[in-house]
Amino acid sequence: MLTILKNRFEQGYRTSTYPKTKIELPARYRGLPKVNPEASLALAEQCAAACPQDAIDATGRTIDMGRCIFCGTCERLCEGGFISFTRNFELSTAHRRDLITGGDLPALADHAKKHFKSLFGRSLQLRQVSAAGCNACEVDLNVLATPFFDLARFGINFVASPRHADAIVVTGPISRNMKTALLQTYEAVPAPKVVIAVGSCAISGGPFRGSPETTDGLEKLMPVDLFIPGCPPHPLTNLHAFLNFFK
Ligand code: SF4
Ligand code: SF4
């Protein structure tokens, strides 16, 4: 017991102070993209042609963050002249259309489902469904339970049964084999319920977009309330989304 107390004293308080204080992620982290509207059309078209996700609109000067896998190819190619990635990890939106951006996002709390705040704002139970994800999105959700992020201190928990859940959190491109299980899980969550799409796969099909074995976005199966982009989204992106959607 004394050893435990000694260790605790030596280690101090390890839980992150986010969101009270800001966190700076390392320089190599790719967060909210910024599109330079002054860049030449030729450079923009070069980036669009190189994008493996067909996520860049060269003439519209936007990136579709729902498709982007944050590989950095475009930024390297144009040396930041057309697209550069900031370290801003607050990327989520309440509408799919808002993920198509030149670098600005609407405030996440600004959505039509304000009643979710009074219903779930202080106690939110989530059921995670991995619908053929590669496990990176899932791991970065899992890490929210560790002492650093300590998701439970906000009244948010992952639960084992959809019948105990207020929301489902879907990851992966939703393979044909997982579709029925996902729909049954959705049905088992009592109304009113929240649907959260985490990662490029769940939002748009990700790297599997266009495959007959997967679904090109969760919205094709059910109404989605919250979109969290990334491949995978950083745990702080998930945390910011959970805290701010229910603000
Ligand atoms: S970072 Fe995103 S937009 Fe850029 S090339 Fe990769 S997938 Fe395309
Ligand atoms: S979005 Fe990326 S990290 Fe998440 S399941 Fe798909 S491939 Fe994996």
**CA 202 – CA 208 distance, rounded (Å):** 10
Whether CATH 3.40.50.12280 fits 115-245: yes
Q: Which of 53, 64, 67, 69 most suits a substitution to test ligand 2, by most atoms within 8 Å of the C-beta?
A: 69
Atom nearest to 54 CA in ligand 1: 8
pLDDT of residue 70: 98
pLDDT of 223 over the 90 cut: yes
Alpha carbon 2 to its chain centroid, in Å, reads 42
pLDDT band at 93 (very low <50, low <70, confident <90, very high): very high
pLDDT of 247 over the 90 cut: no
pLDDT of 201 over the 90 cut: yes
Query: 204 C-alpha vs ligand 2 centroid, how far in Å?
Result: 11
Edge-first strand listing for the sheet containing 62-64: 56-57, 62-64, 100-101
pLDDT of residue 157: 96
Query: 63 C-alpha vs ligand 1 centroid, how far in Å?
Result: 8
In DSSP terms, 130 is beta-bridged to 171
Ligand 2 pocket, CB under 6 A: 133-134, 136-137, 171-172, 199-201, 206-207, 231-232
